Structure 1
Amino acid sequence: MVLVIDAQVAGISGDMLLSSLVDMGAKKSKIIDGVYSVEEYLKGSKIVKMDFEKTVKHGTKSTYLVLETDEKYHERKGVEIQECILSASDRIGLSEKAKVFAKESIRSLLYAESNIHGEPLESVHFHEASSIDTVIDIIGSAIALDDLRLFSDEIISTPVAVGGGTLAFSHGIVSNPASAILEIFRGSDIAIRGGQIKEEITTPTGASLLVNLADRCSEFYPAMKIKSIGYGAGSKNFDGFPNVLKIVQGESTEEFQLDTIQILETNLDDVSGETIGHMIDKLIANGAKDVTVTGGITKKGRPTNLVSVICDPFVTNTLISTLISETGTLGVRIRSSSRYVVPRIVVSIPIMIQGNNFIVRCKIVKHNETIKHFKVESDDVKIISDSLSLSFKETLGLISDEVKSRLNIK
């Protein structure tokens, strides 16, 4: 499946994304219950009222977030907001992908403010983003994306309208887009454009959510069969266009899927093999798609290991931190790369081997509804191999025979 986040007219804010997901079908009761649990992690903030209601924006029926809060503080350290989000993510039982998404979204805000003001992360203060609204937008969106199972979709963003003119905030009057918006989008593959109005129509929270969610940016929709649509309304009303974020989910009709990945590289010439092995395990555990270590020779005939990591853009910062902390490397190169991948699905299949019942995960490739290829998850093979005291090779053969029988593959 593919999801298009269409922000090319009205931009994006955190509440617009959250509302569009509810409009698409995310359970609002689940979101509201989860969000209310964050109050205990952010002292001085209270949710007085939260609901989602229908409205019409310039002729477009949409959903908007009704939110009333009581705020004791109007300035907080950014790390307080971050700690609240991390604690809430564990408390409400988000999936690992949702946890990473929430974590990286608030980190994008923190890094942007840190770079703008030249302050270390632990010293950054939030003003506009200091309220519980920011937490609600991030945690609420993570819950909704989990509920709709959208983290497994290919997610595409259109170029994002950011507006123009000037805006006034805690540091005075600045040109729009503000520096925080520019910092968040810098280094991402998402294009921005002015839009149709001299106002801020993309917020820092909305930008942070988008850069950590979208796999790539495209001016045009991909070839797809439309399955569902969500419209999320912003709080403002504009003449000439609806202040609505549109999201569209569909089934891709392309034979191959195009996505964008990040490639991280660094050279290691003074670490042990044990360190490299542990590094690989940590990188994979933190979201790397693959890690390759290649031996080579550098200047002055020095032997080196070239570490190459393939990952989604939203885990880049986490993996850079892992590389540096685990190896002590002094620099990491980053580049974006487009790739074509064969569409596949992951299914769980019950099997029986030697009278024992197991469930294995398989990646399946179909063409015209006919299964052309499947691959059993190696971790499941290891578990069954150890359970039955069989070799990995023998276990894989037995599992493959069972899967073929279950899927009617000849």
Structure 2
Amino acid sequence: MHERKGIEIKEIITKSVRQLKISESAKTFAVKSIETLIHAESKIHGEPEDSVHFHEAASFDTVVDLLGTAIALDDLGCFDDDIVVTPVAIGGGTVTFSHGTSSNPAYAILEIFRESGIITVGGNVKDELTTPTGASMLVNLVKECSEFYPPMKIQSIGYGAGQKDFEGFSNVLKIVRGVASTKLQLDTVKILETNVDDVSGEVLGNMIEKIMAHGAKDVTISSAITKKGRPTNLVSVICDSETMNSIMDLLVTETGTLGVRVRTSERYIVPRAVKTLSVNIQGQSFDVRYKTRELNNGSHFKIESDDIKEISGVLSISFKETEELLNQEIRKKL
């Protein structure tokens, strides 16, 4: 399997998973992983995905790695788990491959992680610590990246030692499996902050609308006092890493601020789901969206305010009355 096209490797994996007695999640994982690898190579070489040629990845090792991992994880029931990864060590120095010698990490590694929410770190070793195949599997496995372990009761630990020996650094992959000690979910977010003291309330209101439309999770504005007793507005935005850059640009453009503070933060959130229910109010039928969450003291729900506002306008009654009527109807059906 030398100099094969990426789509040929994908075809081998696709045909193989059809013959294997594994779950659909495991099959999807194997196929998605090779697709991630092909997509990265396509972006690097600027050519269509069906024209991508594999060099280092064009071996049975790649097929075995992907299929073997899918089978093992499926056998352990890991596809039903929430998988969290700590920042991934990618090493440093240089790496030699089919195109010659290049700085490490290789181009494919950067491209694969660029489109994920996974944090990468260099490190103490001038060598490749993460391969493109490993990276492609990782981004299709993990649900979140965290600098710290989530709270859990440890059940089992697995260690995998690599073939290379590094001076003063253990070449070991560690996997820990456990049961969450809380029903709350750990979430990693970016917090953007800036102080503005020379913009009007109208400008700030417009800014909030634009930032929320660009995918922010929340925006708050607090009054504060800065040096020399000057009043100011502290703008704080919670977002994810994928939307961070575009939101920073908006903050600068809309407020004229000269700087934005950025930090990574972890938060615990109550698991929730958005559902839709058809209700009848005053002889008219409406589809209403609501968030539902499970806590120790039972189930709770909250109707989306945009839906309340829209239905309030249609029925020509107050927001408060509309909310009460909708709550009554939803409680009847839950």
Category of TM-score, reference length = shorter chain = 0.5 to 0.7
Match of 1:362 in 2: 290
Deviation at 1:300, TM superposition (A): 3.0
Is 1:47 the counterpart of 2:50? The answer is yes
Is 1:391 the counterpart of 2:318? The answer is yes
Structure 2 residue aligned with 1:322, among 231, 240, 250?
A: 250
**Structure 2 segments unaligned to the other structure (5+ residues):** 1-9, 18-23, 54-59, 72-78, 154-161, 165-172
Match of 2:28 in 1: 25
Aligned length: 269
Match of 2:201 in 1: 273
Deviation at 1:356, TM superposition (A): 1.2
Is 1:255 the counterpart of 2:183? The answer is yes
Match of 1:190 in 2: 119
Q: State TM-score, norm by structure 1.
A: 0.51
Identical positions, percent: 44
Deviation at 1:274, TM superposition (A): 1.2
In 2: Cα distance, 1:253 partner to 1:26 partner: 27
| Contact kept in structure 2, 1:365 and 1:372, CA below 8 Å | yes
| Contact kept in structure 2, 1:265 and 1:332, CA below 8 Å | yes
Give SS of 1:287's match. Answer: coil
Q: 1:47 to 1:59 in 2, by over 3 A?
A: closer
Q: 1:149-164 maps to which residues of 2 (within 5 A)?
A: 156-162=84-90
| Contact kept in structure 1, 2:87 and 2:118, CA below 8 Å | no
Structure 1 residue aligned with 2:192, among 244, 248, 264?
A: 264
Q: State TM-score, norm by structure 2.
A: 0.62
Give SS of 1:393's match. Answer: helix
Q: 1:342-357 maps to which residues of 2 (within 5 A)?
A: 342-357=270-285
| Contact kept in structure 2, 1:262 and 1:334, CA below 8 Å | yes
Match of 1:57 in 2: 65
In 1: Cα distance, 2:258 partner to 2:287 partner: 44
Report which structure shows greater RCO (CA 8 Å, sep ≥6): 1
Give SS of 2:257's match. Answer: coil
Q: 1:43 to 1:310 in 2, by over 3 A?
A: closer
In 1: Cα distance, 2:257 partner to 2:196 partner: 7
In 2: Cα distance, 1:261 partner to 1:222 partner: 17
Deviation at 1:190, TM superposition (A): 3.4
C-alpha offsets along residues 128-187 of structure 1, whole Å, 9 cap, x if unaligned? xxxxxxxxxxxxxxxxxxxxxx9xx97732342425663148998455346995xx89xx
Q: 1:362 to 1:352 in 2, by over 3 A?
A: same
In 1: Cα distance, 2:292 partner to 2:214 partner: 24
Deviation at 1:206, TM superposition (A): 5.1
| Contact kept in structure 1, 2:190 and 2:265, CA below 8 Å | yes
C-alpha offsets along residues 176-234 of structure 1, whole Å, 9 cap, x if unaligned? 346995xx89xx98364779994463459959x95xx864326757759xxxxxxxxxx
Structural RMSD (CA) = 5.1
**Structure 1 segments unaligned to the other structure (5+ residues):** 1-14, 64-149, 225-237
Match of 1:216 in 2: 145
Q: 1:87-102 maps to which residues of 2 (within 5 A)?
A: none
Deviation at 1:388, TM superposition (A): 1.1
| Contact kept in structure 1, 2:152 and 2:181, CA below 8 Å | yes
C-alpha offsets along residues 110-133 of structure 1, whole Å, 9 cap, x if unaligned? xxxxxxxxxxxxxxxxxxxxxxxx
